[in-house]
Amino acid sequence: MRYSVESDPESMARAQAIELNVSPKHSIEICRELRGMELKMAKQYLEDVIDLKRPVPFKRFKRCVSHRKGKGFGPGRYPQKAAKSILKLLNDCESNAEYSGMNTDALWIRHLRAHRGRINRGSMPRAHGRATDWDHYTVNIEIILEEREGKNGQ
């Protein structure tokens, strides 16, 4: 699978996860929230989501989503499964950057995107010979980290 954005391999590190068994809607909301953050802040944010300390604001897929604690905080949730998968991908991309000789303290998320993956079709038998669709959705996530200029004496 190709990346949706061109990247320079000398100044950027990248990683992708294909057909993860997590919710595409949750992944899209998390990616929107993390895009443009520094790597350390993004990892801390995801750890807080996993520990149920900080919710992810839902701005696109917000129908029937209740509001969360906090002044002026609107609809949000704690998508733990998607947060664990994205945190693992961030750690993998950080390892790629470290292997390339980049300064891991100066990394920020240049590109982070979640695409809907393949749908694993299934069905659940019902009464009178009928069946209900029981599909499993997957997601493809891609990330590109870039070294910020002028950070730590560069």
Q: Is residue 60 part of a domain?
A: yes
pLDDT band at 151 (very low <50, low <70, confident <90, very high): low
Q: Which segments of 3-142 does DSSP mark as H helices, in order? A: 24-34, 39-50, 80-99
Sign of CA dihedral 30, 32, 35, 37: negative
pLDDT digits (tens, 9 = 90+) for 51-77: 999 999 999 999 999 998 876 789 999
How many structural domains is the chain composed of? 1
Q: Which residue has the higher pLDDT, 148 or 38?
A: 38
Q: Is residue 153 part of a domain?
A: no
> Alpha carbon of 8 to those of 18, 89, 105, 144: distances in Å?
22, 19, 19, 10
Q: Is residue 4 part of a domain?
A: no
Instruction: From 140, 63, 49, 151, select the one nearest 102 (Cα to Cα).
Output: 151
Q: Is residue 123 part of a domain?
A: yes
Q: Which residue has the higher pLDDT, 6 or 36?
A: 36
* CATH number of the domain enclosing 115: 3.90.470.10
Q: Is residue 52 part of a domain?
A: yes
Query: What pTM does this model have?
Result: 0.89
